[in-house]
Amino acid sequence: MFERLIKRATIVSEALPYIMKFYGKIIVIKYGGAAMVDPELKKRLLKDIVLLKYVGMHPIIVHGGGPEISRRLKNRNVKVRFVQGLRVTNKKVMEVVENVLGKKVNREIVRLLKKQGGKAKGFYGRKGEVIKAKKLWVKDENGKYHDLGYTGHVEGIRCRFLKRWMKKGYIPVLAPIGVGRKNRLFNINADSAAASVAEHLGADKLILVTDVRGVLDKEGELVSEVDAEHVGRMIKNKTITGGMIPKVKCGLHALKKGTEQVHIINGQIPHAILLELFTDTGIGTMVVR
């Protein structure tokens, strides 16, 4: 009769040491993938982030929106070019990026967090000028530098500004749009932006929400925990390939700069963040120094 209630109580009991351990800690969450598209997954994930705030942690969301940007550009017949996986951002593309990431996606996330009972504040580009950016140049294998237009990288974060909002009980929601010299806007890779936010804020954890389980070994089995040195070897022997490479590299950067742990999880799993943080085994890959 009480089996289901006892099971629930056991889960809460297992979570308590982790809640105590992470109390007051900054948790940067890079929000992307299917969990941004599927309405039910979106609702669950944002509700879980609100829960993190209520149990005393300080979550910060850095969100993507690449697929929506691509759809909008296609509808407008704007041709897009990529260099080493990075979108070349001209003025027309930057206009779409600002409209999609800032005026649509960012506002929607803030609205949904409030609907789940949380306090949230959105920032993007000139709104708050939270991310200070600089133009990004990419060097190819021949040593030639490529101009990516308004594609940039993080130069600095308004840390005290963000921390004031967090102390007031708000969850900051950041679109990866930075402001550079002469008030120019720059489009920044969301994984890279999240890693930089974690670095500058001294975050305890960086969580990358993706559409894959995490880092897989040669047999396709999940690696639940791996250190930075082992990750480097897995990239060299091509165990880690494709889109996972930039994600783990961003994670390694955050670890090198002081973040304690990086988690790569599948946002398609209900309550993925809670399962990763508050259970003994977790459900994704935890990368440590």
> For residue 178, what are the β-bridge partners?
186
Three-state SS for 235?
A: helix
> For residues 17 and 11, what is the distance between their CA atoms, to the nearest angstrom?
11
Give the pLDDT of residue 286: 93
Alpha-carbon span 251 to 199, nearest angstrom: 10
Task: Provide the 8-state DSSP code for 124.
Answer: B
Domains and CATH numbers, the chain: 21-288 (3.40.1160.10)
Alpha helices in 102-227 (DSSP H): 107-115, 159-167, 190-201
- Give the E-state strand segments of the chain in sequence order: 26-31, 58-63, 82-83, 86-87, 119-123, 131-139, 145-157, 170-174, 177-179, 185-187, 205-210, 225-227, 261-266, 285-288
Residue 279: the pLDDT is: 87
What is the model's pLDDT at position 1?
A: 55
Helix (H, G, I), strand (E, B), or coil: what is residue 23?
coil
Distance between CA 28 and CA 158 in Å, rounded?
15
Indicate the DSSP class of residue 88.
Answer: P
Please give the pLDDT value at position 35.
83
Q: Return per-residue pLDDT of the chain as tens, 289 residues.
A: 577 777 777 777 888 899 999 999 999 999 988 888 888 999 999 999 999 999 999 999 999 888 888 889 989 888 888 887 778 899 999 999 999 999 899 999 999 999 999 999 999 999 999 999 999 988 877 778 888 999 999 999 999 999 999 999 999 999 999 999 999 999 999 999 999 999 999 999 999 999 988 999 888 899 999 988 888 899 889 899 888 888 898 999 999 999 999 999 999 999 999 999 998 888 999 999 8
Question: Which residues sit opposite 171 in a β-bridge?
Answer: 120
The CA-based dihedral angle spanning residues 19, 21, 26, 27, taken in that order and rounded to the nearest 10 degrees? -60
pLDDT for 261: 93
**pLDDT score for 79:** 84
pLDDT at 4: 78
Q: Kindly state the helix (H) or strand (E) to which residue 154 belongs, with its residue range.
A: strand 145-157
Rounded to 10 degrees, what is the CA torsion of 83, 156, 169, 35?
10
